Chains A and B, each alone.
Chain A
Amino acid sequence: MNLSFAVRLAARESRHGARRLGVYMASITLGVAALVSIHSFRDDVARSVREEADVLMGADARFSSGRAFPDSVTSFLDSLATEGVGIAYVTTALSMVQAPASDDVRLLQIQAGDGDFPYYGRVATRPAGLWGSQANGSVALVDPAVLTQLRVSIGDTLVVGQARLLLAGTVEDVPTDLGYQAAIGPRVYISRQTLDAAGLLGFGSVARYRAYLRLPDLAQHAVIDERYTEILRATRVRYELAVDQADDISNGVRFLGRFLALVGLGALLLGGIGVASAVHVYIREKRTAVAVLRCLGADQWTVFAAYLIQASGLGLAGSAVGVVLGVLVQGLLPGFLAGVLPVAVETRLSATSALAGLGIGVWVAGIFALIPLLQVRDVPPLKAIRQDFESGAPRMDAPYLGAYGALVGSIVLLCALEAPEPTIGLGFAAGLGIAVAALAGTAWVLARATRRFFPARASYPIRQGVSNLFRPQNQTVSVTLALGFGAFVVGTLLQVQASLVDDLSISFGAGQPNVLLFDIQRDQREGVISMLPDAARDGVEVAPLVPARITAINGVSSDELLARERGPDRPAGWALRREYRNTYRSGIGRAERLIAGRWWDGTPGSDDATVVDAGDLARVSLEEEVARDLRVSLGDTLSWNVAGATLESVVTSVRSVEWSRLEPNFYAIFEPGPLDDAPQSTIIVARIPDPETRAGFQRDLVRAFPNVSVLDFSRVQQALDAILSRVRQAVAFLGIFSAIAGLVVLVGALASSRVQRMREGALLKTLGARRRQVLLVLLAEYGALGTLATAAGLLLSWAASALVARRVFEIPFVPSPPVLVAIWLSVVGLTLVVGLAGSRSLVARPPLAVLRDVPE
């Protein structure tokens, strides 16, 4: 091999080749840009989160618990305070908030805290400087969304429980927020005394208690950890450092970033297919030149090296542009995502990300170019003196096999490296492979069918256009793959989303309960039920809630079980540690099905009707998944701590539960009797169809029972709709991204087949075709190409979304033809626009061009 000659030839050739192959390298550019921006931005966010750890928590450390801190904890907190540690208490709860001015009521989040929290970062209020005022006396601050939800303005009165408060202002910016929090669950900020006075924290109410610490010396943390571990464990109070929380968040960011990186990698690999296709066409056009070089005495590997150097050089250029683009995007992202990011993100140029992007780009371009480039070796010198001479099919020799192996290996390796976990990466690589193969297969079948069954009476330009898809050296397959993949991604996402929306509207639809009443104290139950409007009386479901923890299984204590090695007979931690909210009732619920054992009345389970003799222990029915995770089955005993007392129970049945139904569902249900006298609250679900009646009921209820909360499902549906519309935006982004990737490949395909098209167009004109007819041929070709691509992509997306809906979300799949038609129209439209824009000069070209062999 003559390397110096190869380098020189590559440099000279690239004067002409660069323009044609260069466009194709743009497909690499897009993928590299995505990777670089995602990589560096991921690092930016993770770093900023860590640097601002204390601002994110608002303190150096925090204690938190699902119930009021026991005395043992408060006393050591007091002793810490005497040592100079700053301590601020914050309690959050849910409560109905009423606005006398508008007569509206809403279930809102209440945050009651000491005024000096947060210790770090500033809370911005409107009017300014109000933060802290809510911690003393009867003043409330609210998130801005509360103003619109309750139709109130600053200066109005708010009623929270039994307390009347002055709405003094809004909270515009909380440094401890993860941005979207205020949008999902808007809050009302009050003082701790107000919370106590409001009488909200009744038995069983959902509240969270936190104590925030400011440590004069961070070393104190180790001391606290050591001194109080035992107490914390015994009281189930969680102790957490700001830096640990920040680590959790930045790990989450990294995890998410890695998923996004996979999307970028997908785009890059699709671009790789484009590169392979362009190089293939390029090399086929170079066959004569290669034969001449061989005649003049260049050996196979010299010629191969020359073209490989050329392809890699262009790959390098494409990747370099990608890196620059990626860095630009990185700089724009903080502005775009300001509302979603936990902290102010400072972007920093990351040399490793840039180099990695450059390297990956060049590598992908090179490895995809390799296979078509190997054809160079098969060009016989004889072709120089015998134009029509064609050697046989390319041989499958060691270099080819090596190139294919390197390609597959690189893809798998890149996916495994980029993915959050190697297995996800392997799955992604496999999925990508299957999708591409299925797309190619579908496209092939469609193309053959078109060729076979295309009506012969169609007008000439249309027939010519369609048959152009099958011209020698066509790039129909690669363009179909790229465009089809975009259609596939968008189609799948949109159809799954449509199915989700459909399922939601069933859940919230006619006949389904639409209000949930909770925090009802025992002595309020009858009163609340009697207040329900007549229209709602029928479908009302009343369920007592008895909080309890599991203390032992079959006589082995939870602590002992948790201390065991992880394995098939160690119960899952979540199932063992959680605080259960159990109920008792006599009948089986509408969303439940008994699968094993027998119900209290003897109804047998569908799979196994064993009768368990409970003796004098309480009978309990478990949900199947919790039973599996607790590693218990029929006949096993569970010991519960119910408000300090121990209750022994036996599993006598196992149920499957359809959780997506809006019914009060429970992991553990007891037979009536044993829990009748345990401390408990009550929840009620009902259906009040008329919105006016529903609103009136909520107002009346809050006046009579200020501590009872009402969740109006129509509001939940609105919130879910809001979340879904965010999802829709993300989907739109992914869709646009993959569509752009597809279009870039299309542009490249057009660029690399320009010479051929130019000759064809000029030839047609020489033969007497008018410009309009040449244009029509092109239109037919691009229309057919777009249709072929979308048809393949959408067919596949149909199958994929049906699979995802049924398997992943476990909801029925609802095909949505309008979505498919919309995608088809937009892809064909874009193909036509891009195609015609790229062909303008072809149509305008004089027929003379056909006589001269003009290189590009």
Chain B
Amino acid sequence: MITAEALGKTYSSGGRPLPVLQGIDLVIDSEAFVAVVGPSGSGKTTLLGLLAGLDRPTAGRVTLDGQDLSALTEDQRAEFRARHVGFVFQTFHLLPTLTALENVLVPLELVGGAREARNRAVALLERVGLGDRMDHFPAQLSGGEQQRVALARAFANRPKILFADEPTGNLDQDTGATIVEMLEELNREARTTLVMVTHDLTVAERAHRVIALAGGRVVSDREGGGGAAVVRPAASDVAGR
């Protein structure tokens, strides 16, 4: 479960404060699939970064799975991400010097100890349909294939929460749709909480819940077409899972 309380981020540009996010209160249930939408510059990426603990808020706080992120040091947050959080990026961000298989192995090896790491990585790549491309480098894969490797990598550690920032933004309609389907399936199978930023409204409609941002504030928070997620007014329940 993810909670954000009075979350705010203000940059100073040219000496003047520039509020990018203001007073965001959110509770996202475990295993939910939430889409974040909004016009460009509305603060979607900023919100995602704060929720994932990649950046520190200037106001409020974030709790992931009962853990208050502001109480952790930078390296402790990294450790927390390694164990509980997965990422999918718009530009895929595979490590160009590693093969597909090695890319999937990264999170497993970071946590260490997983003796069956390799088997799991192979299984995941097969699951996304790339069983025969495991030793290829990213430059030898198409965009869609790269994003499928990124999916396999994101799910490698069975994360409790998965963040995706416009995962289909760099892909054509059909390929994008395949990726979202896979995300949904994996989300269901692994019982992961999925937070996805998207511009694509048809994609957003598949989510359980759609949060719309504008000017750094939540302007609408409604049920999506994807299912029976409970829409709650912000911060009515802060209890951990």
Interface residues of chain A, those whose CB is within 8 Å of chain B, are 2, 4-5, 8-9, 12-13, 15-17, 288-289, 292-302, 380-382, 384-387, 852-855
User: Nearest chain-A residue to B99 (Cβ)?
Assistant: A12
CB distance from B3 to the nearest CB of A (A): 21
Verify A13–B97 contact, CB threshold 8 A: yes
Q: Residue-by-residue, is B79-92 near A (CB-CB < 8 Å gives 1, otherwise 0)?
A: 11111010101110
Q: How far is the CA of A13 from the CA of B81 in the complex (A)?
A: 23
Verify B93–A855 contact, CB threshold 8 A: no
Q: Residue-by-residue, is B56-78 near A (CB-CB < 8 Å gives 1, otherwise 0)?
A: 00000000000000000011001
CB distance from B63 to the nearest CB of A (A): 18
Verify B54–A297 contact, CB threshold 8 A: no
Verify A5–B79 contact, CB threshold 8 A: no
Verify A384–B89 contact, CB threshold 8 A: yes
- Pick the residue among B48, B102, B110 that contacts A298 (CB under 8 A): B110
Chain B neighbourhood of A384, CB < 8 A: 54, 87, 89, 93
Verify B54–A382 contact, CB threshold 8 A: yes
B107 at the interface (CB under 8 A from A): yes
Chain B neighbourhood of A8, CB < 8 A: 109
B15 at the interface (CB under 8 A from A): no
B106 at the interface (CB under 8 A from A): yes
Q: How far is the CA of A855 from the CA of B98 in the complex (A)?
A: 10
CB distance from A380 to the nearest CB of B (A): 7
Chain B neighbourhood of A299, CB < 8 A: 74-75, 78-79
Chain A neighbourhood of B80, CB < 8 A: 297
Chain A neighbourhood of B74, CB < 8 A: 299-300
Chain A neighbourhood of B78, CB < 8 A: 294, 297-300, 381
Verify A298–B45 contact, CB threshold 8 A: no
Verify B54–A5 contact, CB threshold 8 A: no
B165 at the interface (CB under 8 A from A): yes
B49 at the interface (CB under 8 A from A): yes
Chain A neighbourhood of B129, CB < 8 A: none
Chain B neighbourhood of A302, CB < 8 A: 110
Q: How far is the CA of A854 from the CA of B140 in the complex (A)?
A: 9
Verify A297–B110 contact, CB threshold 8 A: yes
Q: How far is the CA of A13 from the CA of B85 in the complex (A)?
A: 24
Additional pairs, 5, CB under 8 Å, beyond known A4-B112, A293-B95: A9-B106, A295-B81, A296-B82, A298-B110, A385-B89
A-B contact pairs, 19 of them (CB 8 A): A2-B110, A4-B112, A8-B109, A9-B106, A292-B89, A295-B54, A295-B93, A296-B82, A296-B110, A296-B153, A297-B80, A297-B110, A297-B111, A298-B78, A299-B75, A301-B75, A384-B54, A385-B49, A855-B97
Chain B neighbourhood of A387, CB < 8 A: 91
Verify A296–B81 contact, CB threshold 8 A: yes
Verify B106–A293 contact, CB threshold 8 A: yes
User: Nearest chain-B residue to A854 (Cβ)?
Assistant: B139
Verify B139–A855 contact, CB threshold 8 A: yes
CB distance from B112 to the nearest CB of A (A): 6
CB distance from A462 to the nearest CB of B (A): 34
Closest A-B pairs by Cβ, 6 of them: A297-B82, A297-B81, A299-B75, A855-B96, A16-B97, A381-B54
CB distance from B18 to the nearest CB of A (A): 15
Given the interface contacts A298-B78, A299-B75, does A289 sit within 8 Å of B95 by beta carbon? yes
CB distance from A248 to the nearest CB of B (A): 58
User: Nearest chain-A residue to B86 (Cβ)?
Assistant: A296
B181 at the interface (CB under 8 A from A): no
CB distance from B66 to the nearest CB of A (A): 18
Q: How far is the CA of A288 from the CA of B93 in the complex (A)?
A: 8
Verify A5–B110 contact, CB threshold 8 A: yes
Q: How far is the CA of A302 from the CA of B83 in the complex (A)?
A: 16
CB distance from A397 to the nearest CB of B (A): 13
- Pick the residue among B90, B97, B111 that contacts A12 (CB under 8 A): B97
Chain A neighbourhood of B83, CB < 8 A: 297
